[in-house]
Amino acid sequence: MTYLPCVEIEPTQTATASVIWLHGLGANGHDFEPIVPELKLPADLPIRFVFPHAPEMPVTINGGYVMPAWYDILEMNIDRKVDETQLRLSASEVVKLIEREIERGVPANRIILAGFSQGGAVVYEAALSYDKPLAGLLCLSTYLATKDSVQRHEANKDIPVQVFHGSLDPVVPVSLGEDAFSTLKEWGYSVEYGDYPMEHSVCLEEIGDISEWLQGVLE
């Protein structure tokens, strides 16, 4: 079995939970690594953080320039025309990482998927279609790219979902985060939404709220 290359941060004790966290377009697995100590998680909540690196591919909206990407973005419009085949392939790679965590002794219901921007679109697909109940889904400054095609699985109909977005985001407009939230609500998911006066990034207040949410779903 081959896996995406990953940056991994191990807790000081044996991990009892895992967070698989995907970066955005053009970044890599090191992008969110510095956030882990900022989360200030309690010592009695030993979490392994797994930050996979996206493969490199040409990206149409960037003139075909080759960069780390989870899928190609074909048109930069409000509806975000994307290569869904590539997105699903990335989601299948995330599922392999979930299965590896299970093999390492972390049950599915102690595994959280998280993603920023492009990475968020992939974890939406991976989590909603996964066939074992997961602990939670964290979606940062992202959008539900496969809203019309995702094959939702009953196993994760009760998954806690947290959506965070920047209200000043010029890259992924806040309306896309709100639309994902509304869609999940309509589908009957347990989803919460929060936004911050920031652009396409992460802020300190958000990091504090992420920490609180992680501790809540893993208590």
**Helix, strand, coil fractions of the chain, as percent rounded to 5:** 35, 25, 40
Spatial distance between the Cα atoms of 55 and 17, rounded to a whole number of angstroms: 26
Catalytic member of 23, 31, 90, 117: 117
Catalytic member of 31, 72, 169, 195: 169
149 is catalytic: no
Query: Is residue 149 exposed (0-12), middle (13-18) or buried (19+ Cβ within 10 Å)?
Result: exposed
Catalytic member of 53, 153, 200, 201: 200
169 is catalytic: yes
Spatial distance between the Cα atoms of 192 and 210, rounded to a whole number of angstroms: 12
∠ CA 37-216-133, nearest 5°, is: 105
Spatial distance between the Cα atoms of 114 and 125, rounded to a whole number of angstroms: 12
201 is catalytic: no
CA nearest to 118, candidates 165, 172, 66 = 172
What residues act catalytically?
117, 169, 200
